[in-house]
């Protein structure tokens, strides 16, 4: 979670008054626009299955045309400027940093007023706007391709820090277990591909922190950090579950090769529950190319693929709840699902999140509700189904 402030959950569940989004512009470590931008519309979304998880679009007012960029190096040009974004609660003044965002593209719209006629026509700015697409700082790592890079650090976390030393700080969660870099590991040209492959070997993943740091967290998630309950005092509005066999597997097969070129194969099977290998669901494997160069390495990769992806029959719940800007991808949350057998707890990992501005003239005002995608295991849903069947 981005912040842990006493009373924050009560404020989220209470009446919204004066909440706003604050956006400032920086370039090369310097504030390049003196005041926060006048935002008229915005949306932010995160998807844990993307390399660049956080993506955003904001539209700002530009009445005199001074902010509309002409060059890549202008304050709002896509030549390296960053936006620092903060969610501010109106009642308490609590500030929740949403991190640093790299400007990727801009679309200015300018209007002009014409005075006079003939040779004495004068054109003056009549107001305009600028729409900005900005991504989290992982986009910089994605742009920074590798050129004949080789492993230099001894452990995975140290090597990830080295790969990202010119991009952003790297912070590892206390529960992440660091291990040596697999022997014979060779990079391709993708920096983020290399980072993610390294993290897979220690059953870890990543997200961007509120201070702009690259956070290494357990692939299984962090928490639980929040309970989403219904009712008058709760934060849950509605929960939708959709069950499909699309992208659901009950085994993982990882392939790699030893330094001498000898092929390696690792396998992991789902042995329990309704999707068990060889049961009514059948035998449905997913295949993955591992970066490991040992048998233990490809075995571990197969287990990771089965445990941390939808391969094990995970189900994504679409949860509409009150806006909580402190939630991050890979946070574990507890959803209290209403069933015929009463409320049932479902603990899942946040793999998607979307916040938008309210549909009003005050564009910086956040909408009262947001959407979360919470990934829960098939076993957890089966346990709920068992209780419902028993009544």
Contacting residues for 113 by C-beta, under 8 A, at least 6 apart: 123, 124, 125, 126
Supply 317's token pair: 């719940």
Residue 36: asked if its preceding bond is cis (omega within 30°), the reply is no
Q: What is the pLDDT of residue 171?
A: 98
Q: What is the pLDDT of residue 364?
A: 72
Burial readout 273-302 (b: 16 or more C-beta within 10 A, e: otherwise): bebebeeebeeebbebebbbbbeebbbbbb
Alpha carbons 351 and 316: distance in angstroms, whole number: 8
Instruction: Cite the beta strand spans of the chain per DSSP E.
Output: 20-27, 30-31, 39-47, 54-61, 82-88, 95-115, 122-136, 170-172, 204-208, 214-218, 222-228, 236-241, 251-257, 263-269, 285-289, 315-322, 331-339, 342-356, 369-376
Burial readout 332-370 (b: 16 or more C-beta within 10 A, e: otherwise): bbbbbbeeeeeebebbbbbbbbebbbbeeeebbbbbebb
Angle (nearest 5°) at CA 317 between 315 and 319: 170
Query: Could you give the C-alpha distances from 373 to 137, 257, 329, 331, 383, in angstroms and in order?
Result: 22, 36, 9, 11, 20
Mutual angle of helices 191-200 and 156-163, in 10-degree steps: 170
Q: What is the pLDDT of residue 232?
A: 63
Contact 86, 3 (CB under 8 A): no
Q: What is the pLDDT of residue 184?
A: 76
- Share of the chain residues as helix, strand and coil, in percent rounded to the nearest 5: 15, 40, 45
Q: What is the pLDDT of residue 273?
A: 79
Q: What is the pLDDT of residue 310?
A: 58
Alpha carbons 299 and 96: distance in angstroms, whole number: 41
Q: What is the pLDDT of residue 379?
A: 76
SS3 308: helix
Ranges of residues in the chain with a pLDDT under 50 are: none
> Chain centroid to CA 118: how far?
56
Whole-prediction pTM: 0.86
């Amino acid at each position: 979670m981005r912040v842990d402030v006493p009373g924050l959950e009560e404020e989220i569940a209470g009446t919204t008054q004066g909440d706003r989004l604050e956006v400032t512009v920086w370039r090369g470590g310097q504030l390049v626009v003196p005041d926060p931008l006048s935002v008229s519309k915005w949306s932010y979304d995160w998807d844990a299955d993307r390399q660049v998880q956080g993506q955003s679009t904001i539209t700002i007012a530009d009445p005199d045309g001074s902010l509309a960029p002409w060059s890549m190096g202008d304050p709002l040009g896509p030549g390296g400027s960053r936006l620092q974004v903060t969610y501010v609660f109106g009642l308490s003044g609590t500030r929740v940093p949403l991190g640093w965002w790299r400007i990727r593209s801009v679309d200015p719209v300018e209007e002009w007023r014409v005075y006079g006629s003939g040779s004495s026509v004068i054109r003056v700015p009549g107001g305009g706007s600028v729409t900005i697409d900005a991504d989290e700082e992982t986009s910089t790592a994605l742009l920074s391709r590798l050129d004949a890079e080789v492993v230099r650090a001894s452990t995975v976390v140290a090597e990830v820090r080295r790969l990202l030393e010119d991009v952003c700080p790297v912070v590892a969660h206390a529960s992440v277990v660091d291990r040596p870099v697999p022997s014979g590991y060779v990079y391709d040209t993708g920096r983020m591909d290399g980072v993610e492959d390294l993290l897979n070997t220690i059953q870890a993943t990543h997200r961007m922190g509120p201070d702009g740091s690259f956070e290494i967290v357990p692939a299984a998630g962090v928490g639980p950090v929040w309970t989403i309950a219904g009712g008058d005092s709760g934060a849950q509005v509605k929960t939708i579950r959709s069950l499909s066999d699309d992208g659901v597997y009950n085994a993982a097969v990882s392939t790699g090769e030893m330094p001498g070129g000898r092929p390696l194969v690792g396998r992991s099977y789902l042995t329990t529950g309704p999707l068990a290998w060889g049961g009514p669901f059948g035998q449905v494997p997913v295949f993955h190319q591992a970066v490991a160069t040992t048998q233990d390495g490809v075995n571990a990769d197969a287990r990771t693929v089965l445990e941390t992806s939808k391969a094990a029959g995970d189900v994504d719940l679409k949860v509409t709840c009150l806006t909580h800007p402190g939630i991050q991808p890979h946070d574990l949350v507890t959803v209290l699902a209403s069933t015929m057998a009463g409320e049932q707890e479902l603990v899942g990992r946040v793999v998607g999140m979307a916040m938008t501005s309210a549909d009003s003239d005050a564009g910086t005002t956040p909408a009262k509700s947001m959407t979360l995608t919470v990934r829960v295991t098939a076993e957890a849903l089966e346990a709920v189904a068992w209780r419902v069947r028993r009544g």
